Amino acid sequence: MPRIPRHQSDPAAMRPGSVYHVTSRAVANTALFETPRDYLTFLSQLAEQCRVRELLVHAFCLMTTHVHLQLEDRRGQISQAMSIVKSLYARYHNGTREGGRRHGALWAERFNAEVIDSKRYFDAAAAYVQLNPMRTRRPMVESPERYPWSSCAMTVVDGVTPAEYFQHHVEKEGGVDAILESMPKPATKASGENRRRRFEILLSGKEFAVESVLGGRTREEYLAHLLAKVGVEKSELHDALQEADSARTGVVHSEPASEYCRSVPCVSSPLSVDGIPRLLGEYAGLAKQAAVDRILSTVCDWQPVGNKKRRELRDAEIWALWRFTNHSVRKIAKIVRATADEVDRTIQRVRALRLKERAWWRSIWNAEWSLRWSLAAAPWRE
């Protein structure tokens, strides 16, 4: 039986404006990264998807067999972004191993994403991500900022920006040209141009807003804060996650909170919601005519019945326009040549069908998932 799509399994999943702690592991403890060029290639692919799909990296750590990311997702596109990044990197990895092309799956499963919905959880997750190199059986570094493939150094070291940090590592590998020449020959000219563009995006550093995790502390204070958590940040993350689950479900967990969990001041920002630093502008639906045209041109494929009637098609059009665009009821009525009252009644009727009729529920979810890809945006209204 196929898996339930992530966007169907949790009503709150993949919504615009959320912040996530993302993890993904390699199959059977396969080494994901063996050379600095592997790490840089993955980061370049991540940076490109963050720019295209409007995500922001607050913290990251690439370990040998798994990755940790703390991502802000403005348009509800984290699932699409991670799907493409993992696919691109698997192709790169399998085609560049010594001794010949590697075959088979690289990633063990689809990525895991926990919604970060409190200031405490945001701080605990950031510490957990950056302290990963010190949580191994034999610590990989003496201090977290010494690990080269995490955001810690560019967060706590004075004068080091993401752009400078990535530039330093790329230059150590001989520059972008040398890295690209070491890869298999691209199948097309466009593929080669895409590879170069990804590195250019990475070197700009604009998709990495690592200072957001400082929470009002100086770099020195934050490093001391991290070092004080060595060995206890896993329990803190567990407690913060349980607290977040209790807030969402109303079920209070019996385990006491760790004594190491403390609420910390947050970055002062007009975009901060519930204390969580949100550095991207609030998403407010699509406005471009191209989005409207795309919706209207594909909506005829949505119906769960074979005999499609004009009324059913118009209902689907109105629902999709309501969910994805920022147009008012009156504007939608003008687009579909109906009255505002008719549009309002249709929205209420389809919402009821979505909740009660399984065929409609599946049809609408599948249609909206398809539109998430083609419009590069998630629904933003209920």
Give the SS3 label for residue 179: helix
Q: How far apart are alpha carbons 89 and 38 in whole angstroms? A: 9
pLDDT in the model for residue 238: 57
Residues of the chain with pLDDT under 50: 1-2, 7, 9, 11, 251-273
pLDDT in the model for residue 311: 77
pLDDT in the model for residue 135: 85
Q: How far apart are alpha carbons 71 and 278 in whole angstroms? A: 10
pLDDT in the model for residue 270: 36
Give me 203's structure tokens.
């070197």
pLDDT in the model for residue 307: 54
List, as one string, the DSSP characters of 72-115.
Answer: EESSS-HHHHHHHHHHHHHHHHHHS-TTS---S--BSSS-EEEE
Give the SS3 label for residue 272: coil
pLDDT in the model for residue 265: 31
Give me 147's structure tokens.
């690990």
Q: What is the pTM of this model?
A: 0.85
pLDDT in the model for residue 232: 61
pLDDT in the model for residue 274: 59
Q: Which residues are CB-contacts of 334 (< 8 A; sequence separation ≥ 6)? A: none
Give the SS3 label for residue 22: strand
Phi/psi for 275 (5° steps) reads 85, -5
Give me 26's structure tokens.
């390699």
Q: How far apart are the first and last CA of the chain?
A: 29
pLDDT in the model for residue 14: 74
Of 13, 11, 10, 18, the closest CA to residue 56 belongs to: 18
Q: Which CATH superfamily is domain 6-249 in?
A: Transposase IS200-like (3.30.70.1290)
Pairing of strands 55-62, 18-25: unpaired
Give me 85's structure tokens.
């990044």
Domain formed by 289-375, architecture: Orthogonal Bundle (1.10)
> Which residue carries 């560049």 as its tokens?
96
pLDDT in the model for residue 239: 63
Q: How far apart are alpha carbons 222 and 216 in whole angstroms? A: 9
Q: Taking the CB of residue 285, how many other CB atoms lie within 10 A of it?
A: 19
pLDDT in the model for residue 309: 66
- Residue 319 exposed, middle or buried by CB count within 10 Å (0-12, 13-18, 19+): buried
Domain residue ranges in the chain: 6-249, 289-375
